[in-house]
Amino acid sequence: MIHLAGIERTFLVGDETVHALSSVDFTVRQGEYVAIMGPSGSGKSTLLNIIGLLDRPDKGIYTLENLDTTELTDDQQASVRRNKIGFVFQFFHLVPRLTAAENVELPMILADVDPASRKPRVQAALDSLGLSDRAKHRPDQLSGGQRQRVAIARATIMQPDVILADEPTGNLDRTSGIDVIRILEDLNHAGMTLIMVTHDPDLSQRAARRVQLQDGNISTDTGGL
Amino acid sequence: MKTGDVIQFSTRALSGYPTRTFLMILAMAIGVASVILLTALGEGARRYVTNEFTSLGTYLLIVLPGRSETTGGPPPLLGETPRDLTLEDALSLTRHSAIRRVAPITVGSAPVSWKHRDREVTVLGSTEALFEIRHLSMSQGRFIPAGDPTRGLAVCVIGYKLKKELFGNQSPLGQWVRIGERRFRIIGVLSKKGQSLGLDMGDVVVVPVASAQTLFNTSALFRILVQANGRDAVPRAKETILTTIRERHEGEDDVTVITQDALLSTFDRILVTMTLSVAGIAAISLSVAGILIMNVMLIAVSQRTSEVGLLKAIGTPGSQILRLFLAESAILSLIGAFFGVILAYLGTWGLSRLFPKFPFAVPIWALGAAVFVALVTGLVFGVLPARRAAKLDPVQALSRR
């Protein structure tokens, strides 16, 4: 479903051109569990951002479910992000003034979901992640693990095909990190494609497929075609 | 995104930062209030002048001796002295259909004395028609009786102030006072009506016109007040006056006729212009509020960079983010305008308490215009911050904590 061909991304740092990605070919099938690893600056976050349509490649073609995303306008890309992609970030990125329930509701508001059907869906999502009694709490009243679970509820509320997780446990202690990973793996078992960037070798060992990036190139790929 | 959701989201964003929201609403409210207040002052001034003219009489024409306009033609050989207006001139005007009432007026100044008190006052010589034309009212007795204006009865009507000075709390009716060299019987007292265009009607004594002419030993009138038969009749009455007087004065156009409407519309134009320019000055304070909104919204955008990044990541197009921030500015402006209107009404209420005689009034158009300008200001100055938010690069926006 995800197909990258000859993807290049360069950044201008001062007067030096840095190749964050140089001619990357990468394919992910529906329902896969992929861990992307590599030292910092190897381009793993850039790769994730391009897959998530937050960043545009300078060269190459990226097709998502047979749709050439490089041709899409800003509005169309936003629509793809809204409906097909869920993001989980290292720093959670919850809106601080909104309650947990309102944070989870946000994607549905943007997608014009009927207000009457939103509340039960939010409640169901929070219930399934064990956050039923935290719905009215604001992010600063929640622990790190709870915040990340709210973020996961928000990322999955629109039933996306892909979950992109950028160091989802990077800001969590060991126990709640494992909790979060289990939740993500459960979603993967239910059929969602999971792509996770991590530098933790223990976590990457859990993934079915491990991709190693080095200086903007894929150096090893345990499940490549 | 549904409109209701946009409004709710923006309102939550505003209530999330109460201090800056309060400051922006305050600035907007002060701007709106000053526009409305200053307009109310201007409008009050306009009404004040209009009222003054109305108390002067309705459909009024004033005939003055002499010509105030210059016309062409050779200079007169012997020098031209305008003919006096006489009582006969005034009486000749009463016979026309366009004219309802005519009040000839002679003015002089003479000492009025009763027992050992005396006082120098303005003596108005006129007829019973003055009562209706100047909208006078009596507090005691009656006005000069109708009858042959050429007969000088020895009766007079005094203003309330004169009555107080001469008689204190005693009733003056039936008393004889000395005005100049003659004695008059008081038949009435004017009620307190205040001033109308410079002449204090409280400190006068009104006598029949013929008596005043004898008193001051003159046959000339100071002016003639003419009340036309309705608004439409005013131009016709003016024409009639000019032709009648011309016939009586051997073909000379030696009077000037001023219509009240002409005076009024001149003042009206001046005062409307003044109101608008004062409102314009006040609008500057509105634009200051606009600039404040722009600054604070710019700060808001940089404070909420990661929120904007997140909104983009979960699928908000740039155009929608633009709308969200514009909605915030618009809501701020409207709330500010709302409080501004309340503030303005409190202000006019306070002012009208302080100056009860001055008719402060908030014109409806000013209310609408102030709120509209506030909204436009908010949107115009909101565009720059909103565009900055819409253009944020999501990757960079999210990389900050």
Rounded average pLDDT over B288-310:
84
Lookup: tokens for A114: 């009927």
Interface of A with B in 170-199 (CB under 8 A): none
**A interface mutation test: which of B5, B15, B314 has the most A CBs within 10 A?**
B314
Are B314 and A79 an interchain contact pair (Cβ–Cβ within 8 Å)?
no
User: CA A179, CA A169: separation in Å to the nearest integer?
Assistant: 9
Residue B328 carries which DSSP code?
Answer: H
A74 vs B contacts (CB less than 8 Å): 317-319
User: CA A6, CA B375: separation in Å to the nearest integer?
Assistant: 50
Distance from CA of A106 to the nearest CA of B (A): 8
Distance from CA of A81 to the nearest CA of B (A): 5
User: CA B365, CA B147: separation in Å to the nearest integer?
Assistant: 51
A11 interfaces chain B, CB cutoff of 8 Å = no
CB of A21 within 8 A of CB of A214?
no
The whole-chain average pLDDT of chain A stands at 88
A78 interfaces chain B, CB cutoff of 8 Å = yes
**Is the pLDDT assigned to residue B186 strictly greater than 90?**
yes
The pLDDT of residue B77 is: 53
The pLDDT of residue B196 is: 56
The pLDDT of residue B179 is: 92
Rounded average pLDDT over A58-75:
87
**Is the pLDDT assigned to residue B72 strictly greater than 80?**
no
The pLDDT of residue A12 is: 84
The ipTM, to two decimals, is 0.88
Distance from CA of A111 to the nearest CA of B (A): 7
Give the pLDDT confidence of A1-38 residue by residue, as tens digits. 888 888 888 888 888 888 888 888 888 988 899 999 88
Q: Provide Rg for chain A, Cα atoms.
A: 17
Distances (CA, A) of B125 to A184, B211, B308: 105, 7, 83
B3 interfaces chain A, CB cutoff of 8 Å = no
Partner residue facing B315 (CB), from A82, A89, A115: A82
pTM of the model: 0.69
**Is the pLDDT assigned to residue B155 strictly greater than 90?**
yes
Q: What are phi and psi of A130, to 5 degrees?
A: 70, 35
B401 interfaces chain A, CB cutoff of 8 Å = yes
CB of B282 within 8 A of CB of B367?
no
User: CA A90, CA B74: separation in Å to the nearest integer?
Assistant: 101
A95 vs B contacts (CB less than 8 Å): 307, 310
The pLDDT of residue B392 is: 87
Lookup: tokens for B60: 């009024």
Are B317 and A83 an interchain contact pair (Cβ–Cβ within 8 Å)?
no
Distance from CA of A220 to the nearest CA of B (A): 26
Give the pLDDT confidence of B26-57 residue by residue, as tens digits. 988 988 888 888 888 888 888 888 777 766 66
Are B316 and A78 an interchain contact pair (Cβ–Cβ within 8 Å)?
yes
The whole-chain average pLDDT of chain B stands at 84
A112 interfaces chain B, CB cutoff of 8 Å = yes
Distance from CA of A77 to the nearest CA of B (A): 8
Rounded average pLDDT over B221-250:
86
The pLDDT of residue B40 is: 86
Among chain B residues, CA nearest to A52 = B313
Among chain B residues, CA nearest to A55 = B395
Q: With 0-12 CB in 10 A as exposed, 13-18 as middle and 19+ as buried, what is B176?
A: exposed
Q: What are phi and psi of A111, to 5 degrees?
A: -90, 10
Are B313 and A109 an interchain contact pair (Cβ–Cβ within 8 Å)?
no
Give the pLDDT confidence of B301-345 residue by residue, as tens digits. 888 888 888 898 888 888 888 999 889 888 888 999 999 999 999
Q: Band of the pLDDT at A225, cuts 50, 70, 90? A: low
Q: How many CB pairs under 8 A join A and B?
A: 74
Indicate the domain borders of chain A: 2-221
Are B1 and A81 an interchain contact pair (Cβ–Cβ within 8 Å)?
no
Are B312 and A54 an interchain contact pair (Cβ–Cβ within 8 Å)?
yes
Mention every residue, 6+ apart, whose C-beta is less than 8 A from residue A116. none
Task: Using DSSP bridges, classify how beta strands A16-28 and A2-13 pair: parallel, antiparallel or unpaired.
Answer: antiparallel
Which of residues A94 and B50 earns the better pLDDT score? A94
The pLDDT of residue B261 is: 73
The pLDDT of residue B130 is: 87
Q: How far is CA B134 from the centre of its chain?
A: 19
The pLDDT of residue B200 is: 74
Half-sphere exposure of B221 (CA within 13 A, CB side): 26
Give the pLDDT confidence of B214-235 residue by residue, as tens digits. 999 988 888 898 988 877 788 8
Instruction: Mark A91-109 as b/e (b = at least 16 C-beta within 10 Å).
Output: bbbbbebbbbbbbbbbbbb
Closest CA to A181 of A162, B399, A40, A170: A170
A155 vs B contacts (CB less than 8 Å): 314
**Is the pLDDT assigned to residue B257 strictly greater than 60?**
yes
Angle of helix B260-303 versus helix B364-391 axis, rounded to 10: 20
The pLDDT of residue B305 is: 87
B1 vs A contacts (CB less than 8 Å): 109-110, 112
| Long-range contacts, stretch A144-148, CB < 8 angstroms, 24+ apart | A144/A92, A144/A171, A144/A172, A144/A173, A144/A176, A145/A172, A145/A173, A145/A175, A145/A176, A145/A177, A145/A179, A145/A180, A146/A100, A147/A92, A147/A94, A148/A88, A148/A92, A148/A172, A148/A176, A148/A180
Q: What are phi and psi of B61, to 5 degrees?
A: -125, 140
B394 interfaces chain A, CB cutoff of 8 Å = yes
B311 interfaces chain A, CB cutoff of 8 Å = yes
**Is the pLDDT assigned to residue B194 strictly greater than 60?**
no
Are A93 and B12 an interchain contact pair (Cβ–Cβ within 8 Å)?
no
B309 vs A contacts (CB less than 8 Å): 93
Are A107 and B12 an interchain contact pair (Cβ–Cβ within 8 Å)?
no
Are B314 and A82 an interchain contact pair (Cβ–Cβ within 8 Å)?
yes
**Is the pLDDT assigned to residue B282 strictly greater than 80?**
no
Q: Band of the pLDDT at B80, cuts 50, 70, 90? A: low
Q: What's the CATH number of domain A2-221, 3.20.20.70, 3.40.50.880, 3.40.190.10, 3.40.50.300?
A: 3.40.50.300
B317 vs A contacts (CB less than 8 Å): 74-75, 78-79
**Is the pLDDT assigned to residue A151 strictly greater than 60?**
yes
